[in-house]
Chains A and B, each alone.
Chain A
């Protein structure tokens, strides 16, 4: 298995809803990442988990809450989002070294209404 699987592919939620994005990999990768990407822009780093521990939080608002239940799974819990949070949310994983490269999922297209 050489993939990062993200679910759902599309999500529409109201500003008062609570939802979760899921990311799964079975490549034995120990670093996992959440990125946010707006149209025609590069991905922006949100969170990094290393060995299931949160190692980087790029000053992301608390309405985004990451969780890493085990080494294969990464969640992003969403609550009280704003319309400007609408974007493509990408998950990635890596063995952790600088040279290994990063495997990306196909993303969740989130629309906040």
Chain B
């Protein structure tokens, strides 16, 4: 079954530092992968998605992710953290459900903390 694993429940960086949030996937077929951000008491906002068109995917707010098949990874990065990036981040994979619909299945989430 397809799934994703997020390594690290919390990541702490200084403002201006590199952001790296890790996500590894488990899939026997090419996966469709997503990164979402969730601000407090909000829904999930799509940052970017991998659909096999390109291995380096650029998203909103300066985030990007690289699909590495050899490492089964889809890590999220941003060159320079802003205070406004502090939030909860979820990696997700599309899984075919029993009813024939595709379902986003989430990792446990990583809380990004940005220090001034």
Contacts and interface: CB of A to CB of B under 8 A. Distances in A.
Contact of A56 (B90, B99, B105, B107): B99
Interface string B68-101: 0000000000000000000010101010111111
A106 B44 CA distance: 7
A90 B38 CA distance: 12
Contact of B104 (A40, A41, A56, A102): A102
B71 to A, nearest CB: 21
Chain B interface SS verdict (over half)? strand
B41 A99 contact: no
A106 B42 contact: yes
Interface residues of B, number: 31
B63 interface: no
Contacts of B45: 104
A107 B96 CA distance: 24
B46 A105 contact: no
Given A50-B100, A99-B51, A99-B94, A109 B44 contact: no
B32 A99 contact: yes
A48 interface: yes
B34 to A, nearest CB: 6
A25 interface: no
A42 B101 contact: no
A42 to B, nearest CB: 4
A103 B111 CA distance: 21
B43 A106 contact: yes
Interface of A: 4, 6, 31, 33, 40-43, 45, 48, 50, 54-56, 88, 90, 92, 94, 96-99, 101-107, 109
16 contacts: A40-B88, A40-B111, A41-B109, A48-B103, A50-B100, A54-B99, A55-B100, A98-B102, A99-B51, A101-B49, A102-B34, A102-B92, A104-B44, A106-B43, A107-B41, A109-B41
Interface of B: 32, 34, 36, 41-46, 49, 51-52, 88, 90, 92, 94, 96-109, 111
